Homo-oligomer: A and B are copies of this chain.
Amino acid sequence: MNLDDCRRLDAQDPLAALRGQFLLPDGVIYLDGNSLGVLPRAAPSRIAEVVAKEWGEGLIRSWNTAQWFDLPQRLGDKVARLIGAAPGEVVCTDSTSVNLYKVLFAALSQAKATSRRIVLSERSNFPTDLYIAESLCRERGFTLKLIDASELPAALNDAVAVLMLTHVNYRTGAMHDMKALTAAAHAAGVLAVWDLAHSAGAVPVALNDSDADYAIGCGYKYLNGGPGSPAFVWVHARHADRFEQPLSGWWGHAAPFEFTPHYQPASGVARYLCGTQPIVALAALECGLDTVLAAEPFDGAQGSMAALRAKSLALTDAFIALVEARCPGRFTLVTPREHHLRGSQVCLAMSGNGPGAYAIVQALIARGVIGDFRAGDSQMPDILRFGFTPLYLGFEDVWRAVEHLVQVLETDEWKRPEFNQKLAVT
């Protein structure tokens, strides 16, 4: 595969025009949309409108005139189309961590009446998910048990209350089989809680078809909602009116404007709301959601996310092939090669776990190829992590990214001191 091949693929790409939805900085090949999605072209003017008109002119009247109160559900309905949920089942609100606290609390409340006292998760799950689970388990008399992914099915037994997993692993890009694991969990009487941070907008997700119990996810990664954008939360309809909401704030009340002194949870999805939500941030998130939904017409009969998934796999296949062809012996592929086992990112480790992962990422960033580095430990190697967002990446971008990588390696550019100094946030 050469540059001409890549250009030909771009010319044939039905999704190529979707890149026009974004404001991408000049000279940047952005392979970090799994960390923070890029700016939708519609966002600056929409945000300016919300600020000047809804806040500035409408002021408090905008709760009625701009329907602020409906925003979490209206956006939730858009997310629902991307994760196999039904309208009215999702709200956009709070942060991913806070939403995980809500759903895990609810799942543990359901398990309280049983003798099950284990929350099962993966050792390499995203740390903040483990932090939330660790505190909540300690507080409520449960034990968080961390094992390797391969050990999960065998560990589902009648001591386990909840299986809590991130669908696509933040480090490796490995993707769980949500339907099979949920079925295995249910067969063992275990509730399944899924974190979709690296799935929503990245891969097809079928929550209802998988019969999952609870799910949460992030707005600022593949959904392009902007830095720190509100997250989302979903609960299966069978739990929706029984879900215990520990963060029982006014917005989740059955009659929020009656100012009654006692909490009465709203039925259904509104129950998952708590305090007043950042309206400007929700407006930005809606612009991001719309960029992903713009790919829907290309899905055809194959269903939600089919077109984006096909292009994502083609891009990542091309990246893997080019890295292996042009940097032979330098890297080990950490991400599973098989399509059904991975999300929309590709992670590389240095062959033999040699040095350089951090500095190579920094040298690439200096060249405008933005990926990120994730430090390893005694069990996991340091990795170079590259996220592929098919909405705004093409095959020529892939070719150029690898070309930069080749140059960084061949010239030993990565050995320069400035690329070996740790930044505050990595």
By a beta-carbon cutoff of 8 Å, the part of chain A in contact with chain B is: 23, 25, 28, 30, 32, 35-36, 38-39, 43-44, 47-48, 51-52, 54-57, 59-64, 68-69, 94-98, 101, 123, 127-128, 130-132, 134-136, 139, 146, 220, 226-231, 245-250, 253, 257-263, 274-282, 284, 365, 370, 372, 374-375, 423-426
Q: How far is the CA of A149 from the CA of B246 in the complex (A)?
A: 27
Cβ of A276: which chain B residues have Cβ within 8 Å of it? 95-97, 220, 227-228
Q: How far is the CA of A408 from the CA of B281 in the complex (A)?
A: 38
Chain copies in complex: 2
Of chain B, the residue at the smallest CB distance from A134 is: B263
With A64-B423, A228-B276, A280-B226 in contact, do A132 and B249 touch (Cβ < 8 Å)?
yes
Which among B43, B48, B127, B260 is the interface contact of A260 at CB below 8 angstroms? B127
Residue picked from A32, A54, A247, most chain B C-beta under 10 Å: A247
Of chain B, the residue at the smallest CB distance from A230 is: B278
Q: How far is the CA of A98 from the CA of B51 in the complex (A)?
A: 24
Residue picked from A220, A231, A276, most chain B C-beta under 10 Å: A276
Which among B94, B231, B253 is the interface contact of A98 at CB below 8 angstroms? B94
CB pair A123–B54 under 8 Å, yes or no, is no
Cβ of A64: which chain B residues have Cβ within 8 Å of it? 423-425
Cβ of A51: which chain B residues have Cβ within 8 Å of it? 39, 43-44, 47, 226, 284
Which among B135, B136, B278 is the interface contact of A227 at CB below 8 angstroms? B278
Cβ of A426: which chain B residues have Cβ within 8 Å of it? 257
CB distance from A171 to the nearest CB of B (A): 8
CB pair A131–B250 under 8 Å, yes or no, is yes
Q: How far is the CA of A260 from the CA of B374 in the complex (A)?
A: 11
CB pair A131–B263 under 8 Å, yes or no, is yes
Which among B98, B123, B281 is the interface contact of A280 at CB below 8 angstroms? B281
Cβ of A146: which chain B residues have Cβ within 8 Å of it? 261
Q: How far is the CA of A24 from the CA of B127 in the complex (A)?
A: 45
Cβ of A101: which chain B residues have Cβ within 8 Å of it? 246-247
Cβ of A423: which chain B residues have Cβ within 8 Å of it? 64
Residue picked from A127, A139, A253, most chain B C-beta under 10 Å: A127
Please name 13 further chain A to chain B contacts, defined as beta carbons within 8 Å, in addition to the given A134-B263, A135-B263, A257-B424, sorted by A numbering: A25-B59, A39-B51, A63-B424, A64-B423, A68-B227, A69-B424, A94-B94, A94-B95, A98-B274, A123-B261, A128-B249, A280-B280, A281-B281
CB pair B63–A425 under 8 Å, yes or no, is yes
CB pair B128–A257 under 8 Å, yes or no, is no
Q: How far is the CA of A136 from the CA of B248 in the complex (A)?
A: 9
